[in-house]
């Protein structure tokens, strides 16, 4: 897991709450806590609504190859894939937030130069 600022993780927790319809406790949340919450939701989706799970992965833009690797490894080892897939989703969302911040143009002097 990469190191991201705490506000990015909070923004990701809010996003996960809205996107995955999960309950996230108020206040600061750790990566592991969010991974556990999201992992439980993924377990439900994979078991009960696989089409919705696939749709969300597509919409979030998670690498299909990585998800397949996690699923194959979990099947081979006899472990659950939910937390690793949750970590992948969280990391992807954190990357998106970091990317948006890196390309913000708030520091330009006026609207003319933003173009």
Whole-number pLDDT of residue 3: 73
Average pLDDT over residues 30-47: 96
Residue 114 scores a pLDDT above 60: no
Whole-number pLDDT of residue 65: 94
Please state the pTM of the whole predicted model. Answer: 0.85
Whether the Cβ atoms of residue 53 and residue 41 lie closer than 8 Å to each other: no
Q: How far apart are CA 20 and CA 62, in angstroms?
A: 15
Average pLDDT over residues 37-52: 95
**Residue 112 in domain:** no
More confident residue, 100 or 3: 100
**Residue 105 in domain:** no
- Residue 70: which domain range? 6-19+30-100
Structural domain count of the chain: 1
Residue 60 scores a pLDDT above 90: yes
Question: What's the per-residue H, E or C state across 31-75?
Answer: HHHHHHHHHHHHHHHHHHCHHHHHHHHHHHCCCHHHHHHHHHHHH
């Amino acid at each position: 897991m990469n190191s991201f600022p705490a506000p990015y993780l909070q923004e990701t927790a809010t996003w996960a709450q809205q996107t995955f319809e999960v309950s996230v406790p108020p206040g600061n949340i750790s990566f592991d806590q969010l991974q556990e919450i999201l992992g439980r939701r993924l377990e439900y989706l994979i078991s009960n609504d696989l089409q919705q799970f696939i749709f969300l992965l597509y919409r979030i833009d998670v690498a299909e190859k990585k998800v397949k690797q996690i699923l194959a490894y979990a099947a081979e080892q006899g472990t659950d894939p939910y937390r690793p897939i949750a970590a992948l989703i969280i990391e992807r969302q954190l990357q998106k937030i970091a990317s948006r911040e890196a390309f913000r143009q708030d520091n330009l002097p006026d609207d003319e130069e933003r173009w």
